[in-house]
Structure 1
Amino acid sequence: MRTLSLLKGLPVYVKSTGEKIGTVFDLCLAEQGRVEGLILRKGALIKKSFLIPFEEVSSFGADGVMIEETTILQPLQETYQFFEGKERLVGKPLVSSTGESLGILADVYFQEELGTIVGYECSDGFFADITEGKRVVKTDEPPTIGKDAIIVNIQP
């Protein structure tokens, strides 16, 4: 299991050449709560973003992400949902299917092998995070991502 906060900013390397082609900038999410891919940011002055489809990632390391070749990079589409992008999910209220407020979404946990989101890290505010820590909500069902909130079925 890995969180986006651990992945964000890691370099992306081409396995066959050892070339660093950019850094992980965000996650691209499908409507079913699945990780569609990683958003790669490349370029020094003029930055361009591309999608690395999740199934095209060779490996996730502690210090970098490996892909086989640059031909797998895809241009971004307006229909994609991003964790921290324009239509961001981070910062939205997380609510259980029974109507209980779980906090504000701060991070997601996903399985690297499958690309599925298995947990959500919630914040109850700065002081609560310091005294109690952030809460992790585990789920095995896709969330309902709405305009104002994210609805999840929580595991008992």
Structure 2
Amino acid sequence: MLKLQQIIGLPVYIAHSGAHAGKVRDVWFDEHWMLQGFVLDGWNWKPRTVCTVLWEDVLVCGADCLFIGSKEAIGLRRLSSLQRSFLNGCVRLKDLPVVTAEGKQLGRVSDVYFNPIMGTQVVGYELTDGFLSDLMDGRRWLRAPRDPDVFLLGEDAIVVPPLDESALERVAASDP
């Protein structure tokens, strides 16, 4: 499993030439919060557009870099089409509150885990209760359900069914 924050900042290379295509600046999702692709850094001559790479054009998503098939995999997208993202969209996943259907806040999204080989589905969420709580108790990890209808991934919060504290696992600095 990889964390999204481990991907942000990684270099992107073109597989057949080894040319540097940019660095990952953000990750964007569709309306069902499925991973769609990566936003690359760099200057763009068109206003309100960014360079992107679709997830399906990523050949390798490793711990130290990403490889894409060709320079043609890099496209321009309007910022308005990237509404849901991890860091910078109109609706951003980072710091989104996670609450139960009973009204209890479990924490805020600190990071997102995904399996780069099996597909684009989010595997789990790392939750934070704040800096001091993270230092004293560690962060908690909430496994994403296999049935996407169990969680409501909304614009202002993620709503989950009622959970007891045993459903949340404590994680250290390493992956769960």
Both proteins in one fold, TM over 0.5: yes
Secondary structure in structure 2 of the residue aligned to 1:85:
coil
Runs of 4+ in 1 over 4 A off after TM superposition: 153-156
CA offset at residue 147 of structure 1? 3.2
Secondary structure in structure 1 of the residue aligned to 2:6:
helix
Which range moved further: 100-109 or 7-16? 100-109
Tell me if 1:146 matches 2:154.
yes
Instruction: Give me the TM-score of the superposition, normalised by structure 2.
Output: 0.78
Tell me if 1:134 matches 2:139.
yes
Distance 2:20 2:27 in 1: 19
Tell me if 1:60 matches 2:64.
no
Q: Which residue of 1 aligns with 2:16?
A: 16
What stretches of structure 1 of length at least 5 have no aligned partner?
A: none
Secondary structure in structure 1 of the residue aligned to 2:41:
strand
Please say which structure displays the higher CA radius of gyration. 2
Tell me if 1:82 matches 2:85.
yes
Secondary structure in structure 2 of the residue aligned to 1:130:
helix
Distance 2:116 2:76 in 1: 22
Q: Which residue of 2 aligns with 1:7?
A: 7
The count of aligned residue pairs is: 155
What stretches of structure 2 of length at least 5 have no aligned partner?
A: 168-176
Equivalent residue runs for 1:34-113 within 5 Å: 34-43=34-43, 49-77=50-78, 78-80=80-82, 81-87=84-90, 88-113=92-117
Instruction: Give me the TM-score of the superposition, normalised by structure 1.
Output: 0.88
* Cα distance change of structure 1 residues 144 and 75 upon mapping to structure 2, 3 Å threshold: farther
